[in-house]
Amino acid sequence: MDAVIAPPPAAVEIVALSKRYAEGTPAAVDQIDLRIASGSYCCLLGPSGCGKSTTLRMIAGHESVTSGDILLDNRNITNLPAAARGTAMMFQSFALFPHLSSLDNVAFSLKMKGVGKAERHQRAADLLERVAMGHLAERKPGELSGGQQQRVALARALITEPRVLLLDEPLSALDPFLRIQMRAELRRWQKELGLTFIHVTHSQEEAMALADTMVVMNHGLIEQVGSPHTVYNHPASEFVARFMGGHNVIDLPGGDAIAVRNDHMHITPADNGSGSGRLARITDVEYQGTYVLLGLTLTDAAPGRGTVSVLLGENAFLARPYVQGEQVLLSWRDADARVLGPGVLPPGQRAMAMPA
């Protein structure tokens, strides 16, 4: 392994990085700061248009930077050409050349660098072996499954001996079953190779399964950075709580909003005259196998703010089946309620929001 991947992983630092595609349009990435630890798996996550791919492309050198800096182990790479950065990119559709064999696809960038045929084929064959594709080295991409194409794409990215591997939605071209399988492989490869991976995805589930560090983006800004456990259990803002899913956002009488996981909600029938809690009416009952998901509307919530859900274990539901239209009381432990912050402000508004 060490014979194939020699360079140590690198830390990536992003300082006040911005991208504005055209004058007068909102910034696609707006003065973001981020430090990604060397050898870690980082997922950039967020809804469509939040700026995650733009950020990745700027790190790769495929997109110019409007302002700010990108550092790889303290070396400023902001204005270096892509090939001189120590990064390599693996694309969504793998971008393999259809007319070339797997071996030639992997060896391609060495050919461009003028490396002789015997050496480049040897190095490409070693890497294909590494990703368990040695026996299919002569096949063209069209003769390979999606998962096999992904392994060839990985080998092709690794042949330049990058210190940071950049992955742009690498699993989105795969069917759901294969996606979960290849997700586990990506994680294993990252650990084995010991490289820094920066992976863009719009899937919370994918990011939680893969990341050491999740970076949740919204409108060109970073809303929250943390481990999957931290981000899921301590969402910083309403945006993060809603985007991560599995949470209810509930307005409290004092004006605060809290997030409570839907499996941490307590539900009791409203008609037995004893319990306490917020009155709600059941709108949906969805059987999911291990769980039953109840959809509800809080009776006293402001318009558009009353939708909540409760995830009940199958046994708990069978012990007391709830039905659509039923009135219930909802409650939660204080320890399970996370007070939500206002979310991150655009840089231009931050100074104005500072207390005098």
Ligand X SMILES: Nc1ncnc2c1ncn2[C@@H]1O[C@H](COP(=O)(O)OP(=O)(O)OP(=O)(O)O)[C@@H](O)[C@H]1O
| Distance, CA of 240 to CA of 134 (rounded, Å) | 43
Alpha helices (H) in the chain, listed in sequence order: 52-60, 102-112, 117-130, 146-158, 176-193, 204-210, 228-233, 238-244, 314-319, 347-353
Question: Which range in 42-50, 132-140, 324-332, 335-343 contacts ligand X by CB under 6 A?
Answer: 42-50
- Please, which residue, 54 or 105, has the CB nearer to ligand X? 54
| Distance, CA of 89 to CA of 107 (rounded, Å) | 15
Question: Which range in 46-54, 242-250, 311-319, 325-333 contacts ligand X by CB under 6 A?
Answer: 46-54
Q: Does 162 bind ligand X (CB under 6 A)?
A: no
Q: Does 68 bind ligand X (CB under 6 A)?
A: no
Give me the least distance between CB of 27 and ligand X, in Å please: 9
Neighbours of 209 (CB within 10 A): 16
Q: How many residues bind ligand X (CB under 6 A)?
A: 11
Give me the least distance between CB of 349 and ligand X, in Å please: 19
Residue 123: CB partners within 8 Å, gap ≥ 6?
Answer: 4, 107, 110, 115, 159
For residue 120, give both structure tokens: 């480049």
Q: Which of residues 194-253 bind ligand X (CB under 6 A)?
A: 202
Contact of 39 with 68, CB cutoff 8 Å: no
For residue 208, give both structure tokens: 């939680």
Q: Indicate which single residue of 9, 39, 46, 306 sits in contact with ligand X (rule: CB under 6 A).
A: 46
Q: Indicate which single residue of 16, 21, 227, 286 sits in contact with ligand X (rule: CB under 6 A).
A: 21
- Please, which residue, 49 or 277, has the CB nearer to ligand X? 49
β-strands 196-201, 164-168 pairing: parallel
- Please, which residue, 46 or 141, has the CB nearer to ligand X? 46
Give me the least distance between CB of 28 and ligand X, in Å please: 3
Tell me which residues touch ligand X (CB under 6 A).
21, 28, 46, 48-54, 202
